[in-house]
Amino acid sequence: MNTESNNPLQPGIMSNSLIQALIDNYRQNHLNVINTALGIEDAYSIWFDLPKLKNFIAKIEEEAAKVNPDTSAEDLGIRFYYASYPKGENWDIMASHPVPQEYAEKHTLVLIPTIKKISENGSAYDSDFNTLQADEENKVFGLSAAQKAAYRSSDDDETVGENSGTLIPPAPPMGTSY
């Protein structure tokens, strides 16, 4: 019997050997190609402290409740987008989101809230949503006219998202197991 896979009956539990195999696969294939092609030592992990993640989750729940008070925790999620920081010469785009310039060109993650929606054919799917703007995107929540009027609209391009983790490298790998 193969016990090397993630057990769907025990969420959050994976075997060490599966974790190591997946990480080795990434490092031997993707990371190696990236480092060679770009001529950099790219990040291979990102660390977020638990309070930051808990605060991010609380912010998603708070903002989703403003859009639709009937939104349940089961309707919400987080999508992790692979991303990369700009080159050093383009670092000025990071002015509103200060991170060390030594992160230039390295991998990162951008975390975006999702909400469960139902398609026209009745199947459920998880959709990115911008909780800080009451716009066409958010009309799918079935808001009443009063809720829409009460919900704050934003003219800028802000959304709930998270990116400020610690990249390894450039941070030292002390404490990493994989």
DSSP secondary structure string, 111-137? EEEEEEEE-TTS-EEEEE--TT--SGG
pTM above 0.75, yes or no: yes
Residues 51-65: tens digit of each pLDDT: 999 999 999 999 888
Cα separation of 134 and 156, whole Å? 12
Q: Where are the domains of the chain?
A: 12-42, 45-168
- For residue 16, give both structure tokens: 């060490």
Q: Is the pLDDT of residue 3 over 50?
A: no
Residues 57-98: tens digit of each pLDDT: 999 999 888 878 898 999 999 999 999 999 999 999 999 888
Average pLDDT over every residue of 142-156? 46
Q: Which of the four pLDDT bands, split at 50, 70 and 90, describes residue 156? A: low
Average pLDDT over every residue of 9-25? 87
Name residue, tokens 């785009």: 93
